[in-house]
Amino acid sequence: MNIPSPHEGEGGTQPVRVGRVGGYSKRTLNRAKSLRRELSDAEKMLWRLLRSRQLRGAKFRRQQPIGPFIADFVCQQHWLIVEADGGQHAESIIDDRRTAFVESKGYRVLRFWNNDIFENEEGVLTSILNALQAPLPNPSPAEGGRGLTCDPAHPVPPPPCGGGKADPRESGGWQGEGLNGAING
């Protein structure tokens, strides 16, 4: 006896398969699609820097669902999320919940204030490159391991630990060798 599939929308908040993507609710997928069309100016600038495997060949996706949340930019290969935060994100409880959730899944989160993205592009890129070079946790948190721990002796930036926002004014500005050879290499 063949039992027909339920009609779309039936079954509560069960994940549905739309196109090639599975495991997310239709609402989450539609929201991600909408956010990709409506990037903020800071997100557009970051996407220009991250797209097309420009940073050491790392593939980033924009407005990517992870569980019930949507991350601004995700590099699955390096378990790295990059977020562009405007003033509405200051002390946001929702951001804290989202960060805790994605970190529990094994992701590392880098957050940058929009003004840092606009005014300190090289410092932002240096932080992202450093995070891409950092070793992944072993064993992977997604496989039941503990995941990353922050070393308090490691200067901030880069990369910020625990999903916090690094403020270059508090650390004496961005330090580093620059990006020679780091982009596309």
**Who wins on pLDDT, 136 or 90?**
136
What residues contact 67, with CB distance under 8 A and at least 6 apart?
Answer: 101, 102, 105
Strand partners, 80: 75, 108
Residue spans of the domains in the chain: they are: 35-179
CATH annotation of 35-179 = 3.40.960.10
What is the pLDDT at residue 136?
Answer: 77
pLDDT, mean over the chain = 72
Match 């990037």 to its residue by tokens: 39
Query: Which of the two residues, 123 and 152, has the higher pLDDT score?
Result: 123
Decide if pLDDT at 75 tops 80: yes
Q: pLDDT value at position 86?
A: 84
pLDDT for position 91: 67
What per-residue confidence (pLDDT) applies to 57? Answer: 95
